[in-house]
């Protein structure tokens, strides 16, 4: 499979489009509506990528599903496409569980116990080159994510699971529940994750029973969400940890900005650098086709479309997010020259 280049697929020249800069607010609701509709129409016919099938039930997803949701920190939202379709949250759960763990044990201790770097290797490490994909030690790849899950408060597996389910529900502003079909399918095929958990335990880097930690992690990934749920969860991270719909403080401000820092460096698997280069906002993708992006102080964008690129990131989701990040003024690195009088 050829690696998709977002740049090749996006021939417009942002220097010529008067992109909004990264400060200020989202554009007016009617402008957001027009831009999101345009992005949806522009990419819905794209047929690149493949639906994940390494978890058997995920292969049932329709390659044509495509939904986009934008939620501002004011709570105003706009969405289009397959917005009522429920899918499993998968890896998009990871930054939110990390946030809950930081809130519970402190972000400094979380950093010590989980790591927050892209590779975890020194700058001149040959090992980093050899092992980058599997040995990155931060809470957004499986090893660190399972370690984060194992740190969820609670003495028993049931207590830890309830803490995670409840916390993710507070991010979403509604009660989330497990998609049992996904949970059963993933539990039957997650030998690799079980292996990672046992390996971590051997290094003293897992903080609960490895089989139970893997099970809680699998439930966490199987929580059913819509693209709107993802956008509300991400908007909470854009709003200093306060859910803009319910008004509830889910995590503290200091936690929020540190979670976003890790999302910026590691949210899109091994293409996180390309993502930051092109799109310029913290993001997180998952194998069922969800992507969240967070624009601090402005709002969030969530996309859902199951066909993935070889790294496991939704193809339509990346294209629509790139297009909208330019037009909605999300890119954190975007500036324009100040006027000189
Ligand atoms: N539950 C999936 C796994 O552990 C999540 C993968 C993903 O979304 O990247 O393989």
Confidence tier at 128 by pLDDT (50, 70, 90): low
Atom 4 (ligand 1) nearest CA: 142
> Could you tell which of 186, 192, 268 is best to mutate to test the pocket of ligand 1, judged by most ligand atoms within 8 Å of the CB?
186
Three-state SS letters, the chain:
CCCCCHHHHCCCCHHHCCCCCCCCCCCCHHHHHHHHHHHHHHHCCCCCCECCCCCHHHHHCCCCCCEEEEEECCCCEEEEECCCCCEECHHHHHHHHHHHHHHHHCHHHHHHHHCCCCCCCCCCCHHHHHHHHHHCCCCCCHHHHHHHHHCCCCCCHHHHHHHHHHHHHHHHCCCCCECHHHHHHHHCCCHHHHHHHHHHHHCCCCCCCHHHHHHHHHHHHCEEECHHHHHHHHHHHHCCCECCCCCCECCCHHHHHHHHHHHHHHCCHHHHHHHHHHCCCCEEECCCCEEEEEECCCEEEEEECCCECCCCCEHHHHHHHHHHHHHHCCCCCCCCCCCCC
CA of 341 to the centre of ligand 1 (A): 54
CA of 218 to the centre of ligand 1 (A): 8
CA of 66 to the centre of ligand 1 (A): 20
| 19 part of a folded domain | no
| 332 part of a folded domain | no
Q: Which domain covers residue 316, as residue numbers? A: 29-327
Mean pLDDT to the nearest integer, 206-217: 97
- The first and second tokens of residue 233, run together, are 């969860």
| 3 part of a folded domain | no
- pTM for the model stands at 0.91
> Could you tell which of 57, 87, 90, 309 is best to mutate to test the pocket of ligand 1, judged by most ligand atoms within 8 Å of the CB?
90
Mean pLDDT to the nearest integer, 84-88: 97
253 or 6: which carries more pLDDT confidence?
A: 253
CA of 309 to the centre of ligand 1 (A): 15
pLDDT for 134: 44
Mean pLDDT to the nearest integer, 3-25: 54
CA of 99 to the centre of ligand 1 (A): 18
CA of 143 to the centre of ligand 1 (A): 11
Mean pLDDT to the nearest integer, 312-321: 95
Q: Which ligand 1 atom sits closest to the C-alpha of 91?
A: 8
Q: Which residues pair with 290 in a beta bridge?
A: 304
pLDDT for 136: 47
| 340 part of a folded domain | no
Residues contacting ligand 1 via CB (< 6 Å): 90-91, 142, 186, 193, 221, 286-287, 312
CATH code assigned at 300: 3.40.710.10
- The first and second tokens of residue 13, run together, are 């020249």
| 334 part of a folded domain | no
CB 154 within 8 A of CB 162: yes
| 44 part of a folded domain | yes
Atom 2 (ligand 1) nearest CA: 90
pLDDT for 339: 82
CB 285 within 8 A of CB 227: no
| 9 part of a folded domain | no
CB 115 within 8 A of CB 138: yes
Residue 285 scores a pLDDT above 80:
yes
Q: Distance between CA 249 and CA 135 in Å, rounded?
A: 34
> Could you tell which of 56, 142, 193, 200 is best to mutate to test the pocket of ligand 1, judged by most ligand atoms within 8 Å of the CB?
142
> Could you tell which of 200, 287, 317 is best to mutate to test the pocket of ligand 1, judged by most ligand atoms within 8 Å of the CB?
287
pLDDT for 127: 52
What is the average pLDDT value for the chain, to the nearest integer?
89
pLDDT digits 0-9 by tens, 48-68? 999 999 899 999 999 999 999
pLDDT for 282: 96
Q: Distance between CA 60 and CA 39 in Å, rounded?
A: 25
Residue 156 scores a pLDDT above 70:
yes
CA of 42 to the centre of ligand 1 (A): 28
Confidence tier at 8 by pLDDT (50, 70, 90): very low
pLDDT for 199: 85
| 4 part of a folded domain | no
Confidence tier at 240 by pLDDT (50, 70, 90): very high
Mean pLDDT to the nearest integer, 245-250: 98
Q: Distance between CA 321 and CA 307 in Å, rounded?
A: 15
Read off φ and ψ for residue 284, nearest 5 degrees.
Answer: -150, 130
CA of 178 to the centre of ligand 1 (A): 15
Nearest by Cα to 266 from 91, 7, 55 = 91
Q: Which ligand 1 atom sits closest to the C-alpha of 221?
A: 1
Per the structure, how many domains does the chain have? Answer: 1
CA of 340 to the centre of ligand 1 (A): 50
Mean pLDDT to the nearest integer, 228-253: 97
Confidence tier at 337 by pLDDT (50, 70, 90): confident
């Amino acid at each position: 499979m050829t690696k998709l280049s977002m740049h090749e697929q996006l021939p417009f020249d942002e220097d010529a489009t008067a992109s909004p800069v990264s400060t200020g607010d989202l554009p007016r609701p009617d402008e957001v509506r027009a831009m999101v509709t345009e992005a949806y129409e522009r990419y819905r016919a794209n047929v690149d990528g493949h639906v994940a099938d390494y978890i058997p039930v995920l292969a049932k997803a329709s390659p044509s599903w495509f939904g986009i949701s934008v939620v501002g920190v004011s709570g105003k939202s706009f969405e289009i496409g397959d917005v009522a379709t429920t899918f499993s949250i998968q890896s998009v759960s990871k930054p939110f569980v990390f946030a809950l763990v930081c809130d519970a044990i402190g972000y400094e201790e979380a950093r010590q116990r989980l790591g927050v770097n892209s590779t975890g290797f020194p700058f001149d490490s040959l090992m980093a080159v050899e092992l980058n994909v599997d040995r990155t030690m931060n809470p957004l790849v499986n090893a660190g994510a399972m370690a984060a899950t194992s740190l969820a408060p609670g003495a028993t597996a049931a207590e830890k699971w309830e803490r995670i389910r409840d916390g993710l529900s507070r991010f979403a502003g509604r009660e989330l529940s497990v998609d049992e079909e996904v949970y059963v399918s993933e539990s039957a095929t997650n030998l690799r994750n079980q292996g990672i958990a046992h390996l971590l335990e051997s290094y003293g880097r897992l903080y609960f029973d490895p089989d139970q930690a893997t099970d809680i992690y699998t439930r966490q990934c199987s929580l059913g969400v819509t693209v709107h749920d993802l956008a509300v969860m991400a908007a909470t991270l854009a709003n200093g940890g306060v859910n803009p719909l319910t008004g509830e403080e889910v995590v503290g401000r200091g936690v929020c900005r540190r979670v976003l820092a890790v999302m910026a460096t590691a949210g899109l698997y091994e293409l996180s650098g390309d993502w930051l280069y092109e799109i310029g906002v913290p993001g997180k993708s998952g194998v069922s086709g969800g992507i969240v992006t967070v624009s601090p102080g402005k709002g969030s964008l969530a996309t859902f479309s199951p066909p993935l690129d070889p790294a496991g990131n939704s193809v339509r989701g990346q294209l629509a997010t790139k297009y909208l990040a330019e037009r909605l003024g999300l890119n954190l690195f975007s500036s324009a020259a100040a006027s000189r009088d």
